[in-house]
Amino acid sequence: MPIEDLQQSAQKIAGFLNSLNKLGGMRLKYRISAGEGERDAQGGEARQIINVELAGPDVPLVIQHNGELLRALETLAAQMLRLDHHEHHLVSFDAANFKALHAQELQLAAETAAEKVRQSGMPYSFPPMNSRDRRLLHMACRGLKGVETASVGEGSDRFLVIFPEGKTDLPVAPQVRPQSRPPFKPRGFGRR
């Protein structure tokens, strides 16, 4: 269900962020604005989107770990507004220009991988990533000649592959997701 009442939706998000500051001990300032997003799939009217720009002393906390907390806040806001999962892009949170910088990194990664694919004739697999990052990679590759993309896998193991144009039947292997480090054990712990 698209966002119908922008003012009421913005007030809900503001209340959520105020509670986060008060109850969660966060120190974040915010600016909420509304505008028009991309047109719907049928090319009809543009959908209304809400943009939230965060600032303040706790911004580094929000964008660390590849923006996990930033994306979590965005997801919670979309769920508060009862948006369907395919409409979560109608609410956008950003802090310290994180999203624009991240999009530039993905654009550069797509261009570099596409050049490797054109030179080698072999597909290139990115590591598993969230749907927004895969979408940005798909869009970045859309304008590149000689390649095409596809998402492969399921759930949190879904990843994007860049193929040579017309050769999406080539076999691909996913890149391995980095393993987390084992828990820290102080020396002598457990010894007798």
Same domain? 115 vs 86 = no
Same domain? 87 vs 27 = yes
* CATH number, domain with residue 156: 3.30.1370.50
The pLDDT tens digits for 118-137 are 999 999 999 998 888 888 89
pLDDT above 70 coverage of the chain, percent: 81
**105, two tokens:** 């990194």
Same domain? 62 vs 108 = no
The pLDDT tens digits for 67-80 are 889 999 998 988 88
Same domain? 36 vs 108 = no
As a whole number, mean pLDDT of residues 139-167 equals: 90
What 3-state DSSP class applies to 38? strand
Count the domains in the chain.
2
Buried b (16+ CB within 10 A) or exposed e, 145-181: eebbbeebeeeeeebbbbbbeeeeeeebeeeeeeeee
The pLDDT tens digits for 8-36 are 888 999 999 999 999 989 999 999 998 76
Same domain? 19 vs 82 = yes
Domain span at residue 141 reads: 101-164
Instruction: Indicate the pLDDT class of residue 6, thresholds 50, 70 and 90.
Output: confident
Instruction: Indicate the pLDDT class of residue 157, thresholds 50, 70 and 90.
Output: confident
CA dihedral (49, 54, 60, 62) positive or negative: negative
